[in-house]
């Protein structure tokens, strides 16, 4: 009886050990008597006791491996150190298990040789500015080379590019000189724009000043013209008033019954006023003697009255 119980316990233990559960994103490679039997995917599986064994547990997740910096030489004979990061994923657990002895070491060596080949065709400046090109070329080369190993290289990144110290110093000096040049160009452009704006302001000011002077001249001319018009109108009005006064005087004399002697006497008085002026030439009327005789008669008449 105890032997039977012991046997049952052994059978149960063996059965339990033969039951395997493959987790998500994993795969088990199974061998039977040392030969590849099958690949278990996710789920519950039962293997034959003693004959079957799990040869390798493979993770199907995307994995990242960071390789140490590798010395490389550029086309212009500059030695630098570059470390790379490779993102890969196992697509075939059987090939991954039996394709290469140490897949990670194989990928590292393959990465180093591929990187040397690519960088050897490029100069220093091109290397520093062409990371995306280098990444694409390396990913394509590594993916093609690792395909027989059941590995797919999804992405390759250059983590650091470390040039020699003297190259770094030269690059820093070059960068400093470039920044100073850009600063000088920016300052010159600013001064140029300021000068242009100042010149445009002076031009605009001169135009406005000329317009103002022109407008002032026009207004002054109009005012002068208006003044002359008013003066002419005043003179015309004065002449008209004088003529009206003379006409009124003649009318009064006629209404008063004045004869030719009185009219001639008035003419003589007007002649006297003309003589008192500043004129240097006096036109003497032809009937001056008659006018004078009339004046004498009037003078004698006045004396007799007195």
pLDDT tens for each residue of 184-236: 898 899 889 988 998 888 898 889 988 888 888 888 888 888 888 888 888 87
Same domain, 33 and 103: no
- Looking at the structure, do residues 45 and 94 belong to the same domain, yes or no? no
> How much is the average pLDDT of 163-169?
81
Q: What is the pLDDT of residue 172?
A: 79
Residue 302: pLDDT band with limits 50, 70, 90: very low
- Where is average pLDDT lowest: 18-32, 210-224, 231-245, 273-287? 273-287
Q: Tell me, what's the pLDDT at 128?
A: 83
- pLDDT at residue 298, rounded to an integer: 44
Inform me whether the pLDDT recorded for 139 exceeds 50.
Answer: yes
Whether 75 shows a pLDDT value over 60: the answer reads yes
Q: Please indicate, yes or no, if residue 200 is contained in any of the structural domains.
A: no
> Looking at the domain assignment, is residue 12 inside a domain?
yes
More confident residue, 261 or 141: 141
Q: Are 34 and 81 part of one and the same domain?
A: no
12 and 69 together in one domain:
no
pLDDT beyond 80 at 272: no
Confidence category of residue 94, pLDDT binned at 50, 70, 90: very high
**Quick check: is 95 in a domain?**
yes
* N residues, the chain: 306
> Is the entire prediction scored with pTM above 0.85?
no
Its domain, for residue 33, covers: 2-59
Report residue 128: phi and psi, to 5°: -70, -25
Q: Where residue 124 sits, what CATH number does that domain have? A: 3.30.479.30
CA distance 90 to 93: 7
* Contacts of 81 by beta carbon, 8 Å cutoff, 6+ apart: 69, 70, 71, 72, 160, 161, 162
Residues 81, 154 share a domain: yes
Residue 260's pLDDT is what? 59
pLDDT at residue 264, as a whole number: 58
Show Cβ contacts of residue 261 under 8 Å, excluding neighbours closer than 6 positions.
294, 297, 298
Do 85 and 42 lie in one domain? The reply is: no
- Is 229 within a domain? no
Same domain, 95 and 158: yes
In a domain? residue 212: no
Could you say which of 142, 163, 184 is where a domain stops?
A: 163
pLDDT, tens digit, 9 for 90 and up, residues 102-138: 888 999 999 999 999 999 898 888 888 888 999 999 9
pLDDT band at 61 (very low <50, low <70, confident <90, very high): very high
Q: What is the mean pLDDT of the chain?
A: 81
Tell me whether residue 224 is in a domain: no
Label residues 176-213 b or e (16+ Cβ within 10 Å = b): eeeeeeeeeeeeeeeeeeeeeeeeeeeeeeeeeeeeee
Between vectors from CA 31 to CA 27 and to CA 34, what angle results, nearest 5°?
Answer: 150
Task: Give the pLDDT score at 92.
Answer: 93
Please report the pLDDT score of residue 4 as a whole number. Answer: 75
Among 15, 37, 59, give the residue marking a domain's end. 59
pLDDT band at residue 299 using 50, 70 and 90 as cut-offs: very low
Q: What is the reported pLDDT for 304? A: 46
Average pLDDT for residues 51-57, to the nearest whole number? 90
* 140 and 92 in a common domain: yes
Residue 292 inside a domain? The answer is: yes
- HEC profile of the chain: CHHHHHHHHHHHHHHHHHEEEECCCEEEEEEECCEEEEEECCEEEECCCCCEEEEEEEECCCEEEECCCEEEECCCCCEEEEEEEEEEEECCHHHHHHCCCCHHHHHHHHHHHHHHHHHCCCCHHHHHHCHHHHHHHHHHHHHHHHHHHCEEEEEEEEEEEECCHHHHHHHHHHHHHHHHHHHHHHHHHHHHHHHHHHHHHHHHHHHHHHHHHHHHHHHHHHHHHHHHHHHHHHHHHHHHHHHHHHHHHHHHHHHCCCCHHHHHHHHHHHHHHHHCCCCCCCCCCCCHHHHHHHHHHHHHHHHHHC
Domain count, the chain: 3
- Domain boundary at 101, 129, 163, which? 163
Are both 36 and 75 inside the same structural domain?
no
Q: Residue 285: its pLDDT value, please?
A: 52
Tell me the mean pLDDT in the region 10-34. Answer: 87
For 79-90, how does the pLDDT look when each residue is reduced to its tens digit (9 = 90+)? Answer: 889 989 999 999
- 122 and 157 in one domain? yes
Does 71 share its domain with 83? yes
Q: Are residues 24 and 71 in the same domain?
A: no
Residue 291 lies in a domain: yes
């Amino acid at each position: 009886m105890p032997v039977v119980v012991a046997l049952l316990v052994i059978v149960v233990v063996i059965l339990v050990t033969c039951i395997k559960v493959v987790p998500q994103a994993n795969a088990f490679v199974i061998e039977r008597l040392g030969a590849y039997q099958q690949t278990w995917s996710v789920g519950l599986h039962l293997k034959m006791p003693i004959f079957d064994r799990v040869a390798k547990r493979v993770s199907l997740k995307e994995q990242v491996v960071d390789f140490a910096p590798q010395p490389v030489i550029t086309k212009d004979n500059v030695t630098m150190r570059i470390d790379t990061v490779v993102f890969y994923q196992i697509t075939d657990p059987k090939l991954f298990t039996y394709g290469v002895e140490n897949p990670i070491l194989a990928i590292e060596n393959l990465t180093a040789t591929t990187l040397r080949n690519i960088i050897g065709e490029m100069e220093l400046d091109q290397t520093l500015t062409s990371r995306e090109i280098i990444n694409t070329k390396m990913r394509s080369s590594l993916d093609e080379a690792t395909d027989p190993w059941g590995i797919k290289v999804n992405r390759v990144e250059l983590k650091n590019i470390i040039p020699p110290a003297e190259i770094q110093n030269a690059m820093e000096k070059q960068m400093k000189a470039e920044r100073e040049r850009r600063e000088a160009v920016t300052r010159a452009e600013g001064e140029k724009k300021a000068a242009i704006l100042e010149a445009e302001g002076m031009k605009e000011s001169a135009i406005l000043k000329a317009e103002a002077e022109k407008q002032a001249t026009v207004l002054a001319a109009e005012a002068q013209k208006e003044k002359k018009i008013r003066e002419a109108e005043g003179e015309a009005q004065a002449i008209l008033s004088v003529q009206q006064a003379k006409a009124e005087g003649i009318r009064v004399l006629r209404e008063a019954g004045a004869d030719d002697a009185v009219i001639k006497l008035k003419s003589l008085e007007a002649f006297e006023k003309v003589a008192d002026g500043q004129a240097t030439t006096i036109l003497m009327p032809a009937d001056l003697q008659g006018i004078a005789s009339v004046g004498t008669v009037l003078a004698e008449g006045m004396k007799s009255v007195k």
